[in-house]
Amino acid sequence: MTTKTTTTKATPTASYEWLMGRDENGERRIETLAWPRLGRIYRASQPGSPVRKAINAECRRLGYAPAKILGLNR
């Protein structure tokens, strides 16, 4: 009996450069991504990383508390 093994690639955490980069419409990705997606990126990033700092700054720029929007206290 033979078994087939499948390997999955680990999805890399979004880099700061990618997050702050511009899409085809010229808008920064951090401005166009939905809050749930930003929350997943936030939780996958290391504490104190530029990615987390950028997401926190974007929340505050829009007048939200990061913990409320990203669901950090669930």
Per-domain residue ranges of the chain: 16-70
> Considering the entire predicted model, what is its pTM?
0.74
Helix (H) or strand (E) holding 5: none
Print pLDDT tens along the chain (74 aa).
677 766 655 455 678 999 999 989 999 999 999 988 998 899 899 999 999 999 999 999 999 888 887 776 65
Q: Judge contact between 44 and 36, C-beta under 8 A.
A: no
Reading the block at residue 48, the tokens are 């104190």
User: In whole angstroms, what is the distance from residue 2 CA to residue 36 CA?
Assistant: 41
Q: Which amino acid is at 55?
A: I
Q: Judge contact between 38 and 52, C-beta under 8 A.
A: no
User: In whole angstroms, what is the distance from residue 45 CA to residue 12 CA?
Assistant: 10
